[in-house]
Amino acid sequence: MASRNIKIHEHCTVAPPSASQISLPLTFFDLFWLRFHPVERIFFYTLPTPHSHPPIFYTQVVPKLKTSLSHTLQYFSPLAGNVVWPNGSSSPVVQYTPGDAVSLVLAESESDFDHMLDNAPKEASESRCLVPHLESSDSHASVVALQITLFPNRGFAIGTTTHHAVLDGKTSTAFIKTWASMCKINDDDSESSPSLAPELEPFFDRTVIKSEKALGLNFRTNWTEILSQLFPSENSDGRCLKLLPFTPKLENRVRGAFALTGEDLEKLRNRVFSKWNSVDIVEAESKSNSRVSSTTPTKLSSFVLTCAYTSVCIAKAYAGVEKEKNKFAFGFTVDCRARLDPPIPENYFGNCVSGLLVDAKPWEYTEEEGFVIIAKSIYSKIKQMLEEGVFHGADGLASRYVNLAKEGVEIMGIAGSNRFGVYGNDFGWGKPSKVEIASIDRALTIGLAENREVKGGVEVEVVLKKPVMDLFQSLFAAGLSDE
Neighbours of 297 (CB within 10 A): 14
Q: Which of the residues are catalytic?
A: 164, 426
Distance between CA 309 and CA 307 in Å, rounded?
Answer: 6
Neighbours of 221 (CB within 10 A): 9
200: burial class by Cβ within 10 Å (0-12, 13-18, 19+)? Answer: middle
Output the CA angle 414-416-418, nearest 5 degrees. Answer: 105
Distance between CA 411 and CA 327 in Å, rounded?
Answer: 9
Nearest of 196, 52, 82 to residue 145 by alpha carbon: 82
